Amino acid sequence: MKVVKHYEYAKEDEVKMLEIWNKYLEKAAKTPKKYPRYIFGPAGYAQCGDVVKGVSIMEIDNDEQLVNYMLDLSPPLKAEFTLLFDTSVYVPAYLERQK
Tell me the pLDDT tens digit for each residue of 29-64. 999 999 999 999 999 998 888 999 999 999 999 999
pLDDT 10s digits, 83-99: 998 888 888 888 899 88
What CATH number corresponds to the domain at position 44? 3.30.70.600
The answer to pTM > 0.75 is: yes
- Distances in Å between the Cα of 95 and the Cα atoms of 54, 84, 86, 90, 92 are 36, 20, 15, 9, 5
How many domains, in total, are found in the chain? 1
67: which strand partners?
A: none
Provide the domain limits for residue 63: 2-97
